[in-house]
Amino acid sequence: GESVGLHLPTLSVQEGDNSIINCAYSNSASDYFIWYKQESGKGPQFIIDIRSNMDKRQGQRVTVLLNKTVKHLSLQIAATQPGDSAVYFCAENMRGSYIPTFGRGTSLIVHP
Amino acid sequence: NAGVMQNPRHLVRRRGQEARLRCSPMKGHSHVYWYRQLPEEGLKFMVYLQKENIIDESGMPKERFSAEFPKEGPSILRIQQVVRGDSAAYFCASSRPGTGNYGYTFGSGTRLTVV
């Protein structure tokens, strides 16, 4: 399953499928990007980050892709599990700033 | 390590009352950041504090809102004369000096409801 930017705030997938969550960031001066996962009733939890000198970074079951040309960021989750159900936020950071700007978020619903 | 502790988890206030939200950073973290989250929206930055200093309050409303991080004790976000529009989840994050949001850890938030 795939979401398009922040205009489709809900993504529903079947357990075991791969998920792609997209994010269009706004500031070409941003040089650091983070994906957060927020489960219901909890605070955001760091998933993975990427700096602007990279275009891809992999973690455990997650991959972040960065396309600076079109200012686009995506989070790929392999073999999605029910425990992955949450709201996912991308955040961008301008060089020298300690304050990230958060996107609106995408709600991922994983059906068993 | 107990992580970032926020209390209360839920707070109900009547219009016109004061709300006090507390945040204890992780051990070793001396930088605190407050964010507000409206339903189905992202987190909006409010204020960045270090011990006894406000570093950046560009996201704080000009009236009724204040924040402090004293030398001893938790950081406090104070909202005076609350209105219904203040109803939101308020999150705090903390980090070590020099790491900024590379080392952010968020608390579980305080959900404020104004009735």
Of B42, B45, B56, the CB nearest to A105: B42
- Chain B partners of A46 at a C-beta cutoff of 8 Å? 104-105
Is the predicted pLDDT of residue A32 greater than 70, yes or no? yes
- Chain A partners of B107 at a C-beta cutoff of 8 Å? 43
CA distance A102 to chain B (A): 6
Helices (H), chain A: none
pLDDT band at A35 (very low <50, low <70, confident <90, very high): very high
> What pLDDT is recorded for position A4?
36
> What pLDDT is recorded for position A95?
79
Residue of B nearest to A100 (CA): B101
**Residue A25 Cα to chain centre, angstroms:** 11
Instruction: List, in order, residues 6 or more apart from A74 with CB less than 8 Å away.
Output: A20, A21, A22, A23, A64, A65
CA distance B115 to chain A (A): 20
Residue of A nearest to B91 (CA): A43
User: Tell me: the pLDDT tens digits for A60-77?
Assistant: 999 999 999 999 999 999
User: Tell me: the pLDDT tens digits for A9-27?
Assistant: 799 999 999 999 999 998 8
Bridge partner list, B44: B36
**How many angstroms separate the CA atoms of B35 and B75, rounded?**
13
Kindly state the tokens that stand for A43.
């605070």
Mutation choice for B interface testing from A99, A101, A104, A106 by most B CBs within 10 A: A99
Burial of B44 (0-12, 13-18, 19+ CB in 10 A): middle
Query: Number of CB pairs < 8 Å for A and B?
Result: 54
Residue of B nearest to A34 (CA): B102
User: Tell me: the pLDDT tens digits for B70-114?
Assistant: 999 999 999 999 999 999 999 999 988 766 556 688 999 999 999
> What pLDDT is recorded for position A8?
46
Say if strands B88-95 and B75-79 run parallel, antiparallel, or are unpaired.
unpaired
Question: What percent of chain A is predicted at pLDDT more than 90?
Answer: 71
**How many angstroms separate the CA atoms of B68 and B73, rounded?**
10
User: Tell me: the pLDDT tens digits for B17-39?
Assistant: 999 999 999 988 889 999 999 87
> What pLDDT is recorded for position B41?
77
> What pLDDT is recorded for position B103?
65
> What pLDDT is recorded for position B101?
59
Give just the sign of the alpha carbon dihedral A76, A79, A80, A81. negative
Q: What is the mean pLDDT of chain A?
A: 89
pLDDT band at A5 (very low <50, low <70, confident <90, very high): very low
CA distance A55 to chain B (A): 18
> What pLDDT is recorded for position B23?
98
CA distance A68 to chain B (A): 20
> What pLDDT is recorded for position B100?
58
The answer to whether A98 contacts B44, with C-beta atoms less than 8 Å apart, is no
Main-chain phi, psi angles of A50, to 5 degrees:
-155, 140
**How many angstroms separate the CA atoms of B57 and A73, rounded?**
28
Q: In this structure, what is the dihedral angle of CA atoms B62, B64, B65, B67, given to the nearest 10 degrees?
A: 110
